[in-house]
């Protein structure tokens, strides 16, 4: 099968920009460079039908939240256009520092997902799936110590991931949603 879509220099630019923005950032409680997460999310988006602009937004999905707020969003808009900026904004649960309280922020994000466009939901689902896979792996390796990394702790994190599964299932039926549910169920079983 010949792949008909082509990733252009815009994608290459976004890859470099994402690596630059997150250069010193590590995944919570690990020594894993944060860019590994961005690449994994982008791969899931591309593997599930995402176009180049969705892939660029996947690379930058945490840039606003973690690396500069509205100023970074405006730079993304300038560099990559309105659609990419809207996708990134749709995947962002906070643009302010300090962030709002964890529970309220997560509930607001769940509510937002119900109105989010399908292309933004795919990026969000890819993000949450990769996060859940990482939690499951770490839970198998380190047991309940993994929950100390998260502001919601064990009970809040379990609530949030279960709620995400419910929202994604309400909105669409896909193999990716099924995979996310399977991983979250494994997390619940081990927790």
- Concerning whether 138 is annotated as a catalytic residue, the answer is no
Instruction: Name the pLDDT band for 87 (thresholds 50, 70, 90).
Output: very high
User: Is residue 39 situated within a structural domain?
Assistant: yes
User: Is residue 96 situated within a structural domain?
Assistant: yes
User: Is residue 108 situated within a structural domain?
Assistant: yes
User: Is residue 4 situated within a structural domain?
Assistant: no
**In CATH, what number is assigned to the domain containing residue 39?**
1.10.3210.10
**What's the number of domains the chain is made of?**
1
| Average pLDDT score, the chain | 94
User: Is residue 3 situated within a structural domain?
Assistant: no
Beta bridge partners of 33: 26
CA distance 133 to 154: 16
Range of the domain at 62: 9-190
User: Is residue 1 situated within a structural domain?
Assistant: no
Catalytic residue among 53, 65, 75, 127: 65
pLDDT tens, residue by residue, 114-137: 999 999 999 999 999 999 999 999
- Concerning whether 66 is annotated as a catalytic residue, the answer is yes
Q: For the packed helices 82-90 and 52-59, what is the interaxial angle rounded to 10 degrees? A: 50
User: Is residue 146 situated within a structural domain?
Assistant: yes
Catalytic residue among 51, 52, 66, 179: 66
Q: Over 90: is that where the pLDDT of 83 sits?
A: yes
User: Is residue 2 situated within a structural domain?
Assistant: no
Residue partners of 10: CB distance under 8 A and separation at least 6: 52, 56, 80
pLDDT tens, residue by residue, 21-73: 999 988 988 899 999 999 999 999 999 999 999 999 999 999 999 888 899 99
């Amino acid at each position: 099968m010949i792949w008909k879509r082509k990733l252009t220099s815009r994608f290459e630019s976004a890859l470099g920009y994402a690596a630059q923005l997150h250069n010193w950032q590590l995944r919570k409680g690990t020594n894993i460079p944060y860019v590994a997460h961005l690449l994994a999310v982008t791969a899931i988006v591309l593997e599930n039908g995402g176009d180049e602009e969705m892939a660029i937004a996947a690379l930058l999905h945490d840039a606003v939240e973690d690396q500069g707020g509205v100023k970074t969003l405006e730079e993304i808009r300038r560099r990559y256009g309105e659609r990419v900026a809207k996708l990134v904004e749709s995947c962002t649960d906070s643009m302010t520092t300090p962030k709002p309280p964890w529970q309220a922020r997560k509930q607001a994000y769940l509510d937002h997902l119900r109105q989010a466009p399908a292309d933004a939901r795919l990026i969000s689902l890819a993000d949450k799936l990769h996060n859940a896979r990482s939690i499951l792996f770490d839970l198998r390796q380190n047991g309940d110590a993994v929950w100390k990394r998260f502001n919601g702790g064990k009970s809040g994190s379990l609530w949030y991931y279960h709620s995400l599964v419910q929202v994604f299932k309400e909105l669409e039926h896909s193999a990716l949603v099924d995979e996310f549910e399977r991983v979250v169920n494994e997390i619940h079983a081990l927790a």
